[in-house]
Structure 1
């Protein structure tokens, strides 16, 4: 299993979780509540956790290529879900 994580500074992480989960809920298995969400995409799994002024994102994929694609897809979609641009995502690969 390949894993990548990022912490994104944002004023309203709960809103991003809700918007992203609802957006993908018609296409993929999704579960979410106020402070966390999980999306089972075709490329892998996306876990979202709200923190104070930040959103923690954890991605799991079967291989490195899928993980790279998942990083791009999740980053792009999170940028679309916010009214203010998010800072650059600093993905950290886990061994």
Structure 2
């Protein structure tokens, strides 16, 4: 299993977590509250956490392709919800702390 963690510094972390989870729940299994969310994508899993002025996403998948897809889905949807903050993408890193290969 491959994992990566993304972080977006924002004071609206809980709001964005809930928006993402509500949106994803239309197509996949999701559980969430104001601070945590679990999303079961067909290509992997995402655990979202609103904490300390940031939205943190930990994604897991069977290979790098699955991780790339999860990163893309989360970033694309966050761009829509966080447009006022000029969001482009989360700061993603591997478990070793290195940025993922693109």
TM-score after normalising by structure 2: 0.85
For residues 1-95 of structure 1, what are the structure 2 equivalents within 5 Å? Answer: 1-82=1-82, 83-86=84-87, 88-94=89-95
| RMSD over equivalenced CA pairs, Å | 1.4
Partner Cα separation in structure 1 for residue 89 and residue 62 of structure 2: 25
Superposition TM-score, scaled by structure 1 size: 0.91
Q: Residue 9 and residue 87 in structure 1: after superposition, are their counterparts in 2 closer, same or farther (change >3 A)?
A: farther
Helix, strand or coil: the match of 1:91? strand
CA distance in 1, matches of 2:79, 2:69: 15
CA contact (8 A) 1:10 1:86 kept: no
Q: Which has the higher contact order (CA 8 A, sep 6+)?
A: 1
Q: Which runs of 5+ in 1 are unaligned?
A: none
Structure 1 Cα separation of the partners of residues 31 and 50 of structure 2:
14
Instruction: State the alpha-carbon separation in 2 of the partners of residues 74 and 38 from structure 1.
Output: 13
Give the unaligned 5+ runs of structure 2: 97-102
Using the TM superposition, give the Cα deviation of residue 56 of structure 1 relative to its aligned residue in structure 2, in angstroms: 0.9
State the distance in 1 between where 2:72 and 2:89 align: 12
